[in-house]
Amino acid sequence: MLSRTASHEFILQHFRACRGLYILGAGASTGLVPFASEFLRIPAIDQVRGGSFPADTSAQSELTVNSTSALLSAENISSLVYPDRSKRPGTEDPPYAEILRRQTDYFTRRRLEVALATPRFRQLKSDSYLAFRKFYPSVILNYNLDGLASDLCTPPHEVIAAHGTVDRGYGSPEMEEFLRSARVRSARSTRRQCALRSRERRSLRWSTSAQAIESYGGVPAFHCSNRL
């Protein structure tokens, strides 16, 4: 009985001769951008390595909680944070949980954006994407935020970034330097800014009438006036 499984040669010939729709997830960027727990713990590792952190704590978003949990749930935290150091017997671990309670949401978001943008800024290549250049011009639906598909597959393909793309500028050395100050940003200052924004929102009277809504790029723009 003949096998009905298509050979690799047949599949490759089909890809090179026919237009198709390709859907890309995190696995396409393997080797350039970490994913899953390895990706989430990047900000947490930098938070611990920094050596200094805010004295105050603030409520953390789900993203920041997932980031800190990805590190705290690891089997050997010390080897992840300090891979080039050997730990002497009897040496106590730093208070990882207390340090990570002071990781701010702002730092978490910015640090993850840096991780996503760095491969594009450094113009790194990946065979996972370059292989598409051998295929017939098609449509690629890319669910990754790193933008590698757009850089490496266009042309000949049309790439649709389903969730948008992190700007390549986040991968610059200047952004790395900026993060050093963002990491130690006071949690008290963050709370003060949030409270200020809350008061500003309460002082705005939003008008949703048809005359007050303008379309800008398909997105309604709401007029507001101060309630004094």
Per the structure block, which two tokens stand in for 68?
Answer: 């800190």
- Tell whether the model's pLDDT for residue 152 goes beyond 90: yes
Model pLDDT, residue 204: 36
Which residues are registered as beta bridge partners of 205? 225
pLDDT category of residue 184 using cuts at 50, 70 and 90: low
pLDDT band per the 50, 70, 90 thresholds, residue 206 = very low
Cα 126 from Cα 149, distance rounded (Å): 10
Q: How far apart are CA 141 and CA 163, in angstroms?
A: 10
- Residue with the larger pLDDT of the pair 202 and 192: 192
Of residues 51 and 157, which shows the higher confidence score?
A: 157
Q: What does pLDDT average to over the chain?
A: 80
Please compute, for residue 172, the number of CA atoms within 13 A of its CA located in the half-sphere on the CB side. Answer: 7
What's the gap between Cα 191 and its chain centre? 23
- Domain ranges for the chain: 19-185
**C-alpha span between 32 and 122 (Å, rounded):** 11
75 or 141, which is more confident? 141
Question: pTM to 2 decimals?
Answer: 0.74
Q: String of b and e for 95-117 (b: at least 16 CB within 10 Å)?
A: ebeebbbbbbbebbbbbbbbbbb
Rounded to whole angstroms, how far apart are CA atoms 111 and 18?
Answer: 40
Give percent of the chain above pLDDT 90: 56
> Which pLDDT belongs to residue 74?
93
The yes-or-no verdict on residue 194 having pLDDT over 60 is: no
Residue 91 has pLDDT above 70, yes or no: yes
- Pull the structure tokens for residue 209: 């009438």
